[in-house]
C-alpha cells in the first residue's frame, strides 16, 4: 500500500489518502529481507538487555539476602546474659548498676549517657524513666550515685559514644540510656555496698537490682549526701 496526494477538482481540501497498489515480487522480497534483518539484528540486543536485567536483579536480590544474613549473623553472634545475671521473672526491677573505669567514667558523665556491651541489650531495654541508677568504677572499686534514667533504655542512642577503634562508627557499649543526677553523694566503698548485692561466679555481681536491693543502696547513699 502506498500514500499519494489526491487533489480534488471540486475545491475540496487536499489530504493524504491511502491508495491500494499491487507490489512486485522483487519489492516483496526486499521488504521481507529488510524486516528479517531488522528482527534478527534486534534479537541479540534484546537478549543482552534481558540478560543484564536478570543479572542485575539476581545481584540486587543476592546482595540484599547477603546483607540480611550478615545482619542476622551479627545479631546472633552476640552473647546473651546467663540466668544468674538476670532477676527472676516474677521480680520487679528496682534499679540498675552500670560499669565503667576511670577513662570511660568521664565520657559517661559528660554525655550524660550510660552504656554497656551488647549482651546487656535486652536487660537495659527494661529500664524506664525515673529508675534509680548507679555507676560502679572498677578501677577504684567505688559505687557512684545517685543517678536516674531520663529515657527508656535502648540500643545505640549515641552510636559514636565509646567508639570502637576497630569498627568506626560503632559503639563498644551500644546498650544505652540517658541519665541525670538524682542526688549528689560521696561514692560508696566496696565493703559497704557489696553485702547488699547478689553475687555469682566469685566476685561478680548482678547489675539488675531488685526493689529491696535498690532501697538498701539508696539508704546508704542518703548517709553520704553532699
User: For 187-210, what is each residue's pLDDT tens digit?
Assistant: 999 999 999 999 888 888 999 999
- Please state which CATH class domain 92-225 belongs to: alpha beta
Q: Which of 168, 155, 173 has its CA nearest to residue 108?
A: 173
* The pTM of the whole model exceeds 0.85: no
For the chain, percent of residues with pLDDT exceeding 90: 50
pLDDT at 43 over 70: no
pLDDT at 78 over 70: no
Binning pLDDT at 50, 70 and 90, where does residue 226 land? confident
DSSP assignments along 4-54, one per residue: EEE--TTSPPPEEEEE--PPPHHHHHHHHHHHHHHHHHHHHHHHHHHHHHH
User: For 102-154, what is each residue's pLDDT tens digit?
Assistant: 989 999 999 999 999 999 999 999 999 999 999 999 999 999 999 999 999 99
Amino acid at each position: 500500500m502506498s500514500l499519494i496526494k489526491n487533489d480534488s477538482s471540486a475545491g475540496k481540501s487536499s489530504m493524504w489518502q491511502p491508495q491500494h497498489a499491487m507490489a512486485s515480487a522483487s519489492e516483496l522480497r526486499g521488504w521481507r529481507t529488510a524486516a528479517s534483518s531488522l528482527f534478527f539484528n534486534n534479537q541479540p540486543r534484546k537478549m543482552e538487555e534481558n540478560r543484564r536485567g536478570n543479572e542485575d536483579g539476581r545481584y540486587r536480590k543476592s546482595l540484599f539476602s547477603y546483607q540480611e544474613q550478615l545482619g542476622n549473623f551479627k545479631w546472633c553472634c552476640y552473647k546473651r546474659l546467663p540466668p544468674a545475671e538476670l532477676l527472676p521473672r516474677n521480680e520487679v526491677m528496682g534499679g540498675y548498676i552500670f560499669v565503667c573505669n576511670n577513662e570511660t567514667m568521664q565520657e559517661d558523665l559528660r554525655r550524660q549517657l550510660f552504656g554497656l556491651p551488647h549482651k546487656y541489650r535486652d536487660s537495659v531495654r527494661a529500664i524506664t524513666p525515673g529508675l534509680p541508677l548507679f555507676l560502679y568504677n572498677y578501677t577504684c572499686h567505688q559505687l557512684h550515685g545517685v543517678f536516674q534514667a531520663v529515657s527508656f533504655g535502648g540500643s545505640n542512642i549515641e552510636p559514636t559514644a565509646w567508639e570502637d577503634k576497630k569498627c568506626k562508627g560503632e559503639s563498644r557499649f551500644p546498650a544505652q540510656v540517658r541519665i541525670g543526677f538524682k542526688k549528689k553523694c560521696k561514692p560508696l566503698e566496696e565493703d559497704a555496698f557489696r553485702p547488699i548485692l547478689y553475687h555469682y561466679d566469685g566476685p561478680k555481681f548482678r547489675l539488675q537490682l531488685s526493689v529491696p536491693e535498690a532501697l538498701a543502696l539508696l539508704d546508704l547513699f542518703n548517709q553520704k549526701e553532699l
